[in-house]
Amino acid sequence: MDIEFEVKYGLDGVAVAISSISCVDGEKGKLVYRGFEIEDLIQNSNFEETAYLIWFGSLPNENELDFLISMLSKKRELPNQIIEMMKLFPKNSHPMEVLRSVVSMLGMYSKKENSTFENAINLTAKIPTIIAYWYRIRNDLPLIKPKESLKHSENFLYMMFGKIPEHFNLFDKALILHEEQGMNASTFASTVTASTLSDIYSIITTAIGTLKGPLHGGANEKVLKMFDEIGSIENVEFYINNLIEKKEKIMGFGHRIYKTYDPRAKILKNWIKEIFINNNIKYFEIALKVEEIVVNKFKDKKIYPNVDFYSGILYNYFGIPKEFFTPIFAMARIVGWTAHAMEYCKNNRIFRPKAIYNGPKNLKYKEVKGVE
């Protein structure tokens, strides 16, 4: 065996790029996009403006922002053939399967002369439409066409439900929280695909497939499934202790980088606490009890709630079914995926790590007799 190399499983502690897009400080629990703290952005910005910041490195002036908003709002509609194909998909297809497949199909419909950035805008504009159309098709509801006059997040909720719910601005701010997060698994996967000089549709298809897993973006759906299984506050202790005993991971907890409270989880929890406490928002009491038990139990391992622990409670408040939580994550994170892919390619080198071979050597081929 080649012992010259040490294997870093999960690339723990390995840097693969130099980036000016975001800074994730896992000790202090800080997340900064292009120099701006996330708390500042959710207070003062919106999805489109933060996307501009992440893509271009500075906040836009009025004209620049208007231009981006208009590009995003004009490109929302899907090609008719794709809509017709979606109607033929099995109704029980998971929205992440549909999103992954339709993004891949859109590559065939894109103009070959488009720049990477134009394609990034095209996909960012269309992902909410794919999600909303699938929600409507799956539920045998008529499609609601995108409305150019509405903002990105407003338009998404409108296409889902035909109306814009109260507190929709919190949904927009939740998208800001999910737009970017350093070299996480899906961003790394998309960067690997970008490093082969593949196209943006392939890059984002890769990223969606990676985000789907329950250790990554798929955790938000699993968290709500866990709350449903727990059912009532009286069952929390038994349920969680049972998971711990079986050494199973508790969904929505832990993070490779954050060794303190994930700032995004803190923000989401505060919104729910401050704004909805009088409405007795579903699952919140159960969530608080789960958090108390898990944080106490794993104090030494520094395991705290991550972004996926509280986001589903908010989305559920808006009436969004849990299978659609991870697609919403993708709808925001496409900004980070494309920003990293474009940044990496400015100084591109194809990713080609190695695996240390420990299989047999020096075997000689022998013909198997009697097999035709």
Q: Does 219 bind ligand CMC (CB under 6 A)?
A: yes
Quick check: is 255 catalytic?
yes
Q: Does 303 bind ligand CMC (CB under 6 A)?
A: yes
Quick check: is 308 catalytic?
yes
Instruction: Report the half-sphere exposure of 131 (CA within 13 A, side-chain side).
Output: 28
Q: Which residue of 47, 253, 317, 324 would you call a contact of ligand CMC, by CB under 6 A?
A: 253
Q: Does 217 bind ligand CMC (CB under 6 A)?
A: yes
Q: Which residue of 206, 306, 311, 338 would you call a contact of ligand CMC, by CB under 6 A?
A: 306
Q: Which two tokens stand for residue 332?
A: 């925001």
Give the CA radius of gyration of the chain.
22
Q: Does 215 bind ligand CMC (CB under 6 A)?
A: yes
CB atoms within 10 A of CB 105: 18
Q: Which residue of 91, 301, 353, 356 would you call a contact of ligand CMC, by CB under 6 A?
A: 301
Contact, 155 vs 129, CB < 8 A?
Answer: no
Q: Does 311 bind ligand CMC (CB under 6 A)?
A: no
Q: Does 132 bind ligand CMC (CB under 6 A)?
A: no
Q: Does 187 bind ligand CMC (CB under 6 A)?
A: no
Q: Does 225 bind ligand CMC (CB under 6 A)?
A: no
- Per the residue annotation, which of 178, 255, 262, 340 is the catalytic one? 255
Q: Does 251 bind ligand CMC (CB under 6 A)?
A: yes
* Smallest distance from ligand CMC to CB 155, Å: 25
* Smallest distance from ligand CMC to CB 245, Å: 12
C-beta closer to ligand CMC: residue 129 or 306: 306
Q: Does 177 bind ligand CMC (CB under 6 A)?
A: no
How many binding residues for ligand CMC (CB under 6 A)? 19
Q: Does 250 bind ligand CMC (CB under 6 A)?
A: yes
Restricting to residues 5-44, which ones interact with ligand CMC according to CB under 6 A?
10
C-beta closer to ligand CMC: residue 128 or 305: 305
Beta bridge partners of 23: 32
* Smallest distance from ligand CMC to CB 131, Å: 17
- Pick the closest to residue 64 from 47, 83, 78, 48 (CA basis): 48
CB atoms within 10 A of CB 350: 9
Interaction mask 256-275, ligand CMC, x per CB under 6 A: x-------------------
Q: Which two tokens stand for residue 187?
A: 């961003």
Listed ranges 72-80, 139-147, 166-174, 250-258: which one lies at the site for ligand CMC (CB under 6 A): 250-258
Q: Does 129 bind ligand CMC (CB under 6 A)?
A: no
Residue nearest to ligand CMC (CB): 254
**Catalytic residue numbers?**
255, 308
> Contact residues for ligand CMC (CB under 6 A)?
10, 184, 215-217, 219, 249-256, 301, 303, 306-308
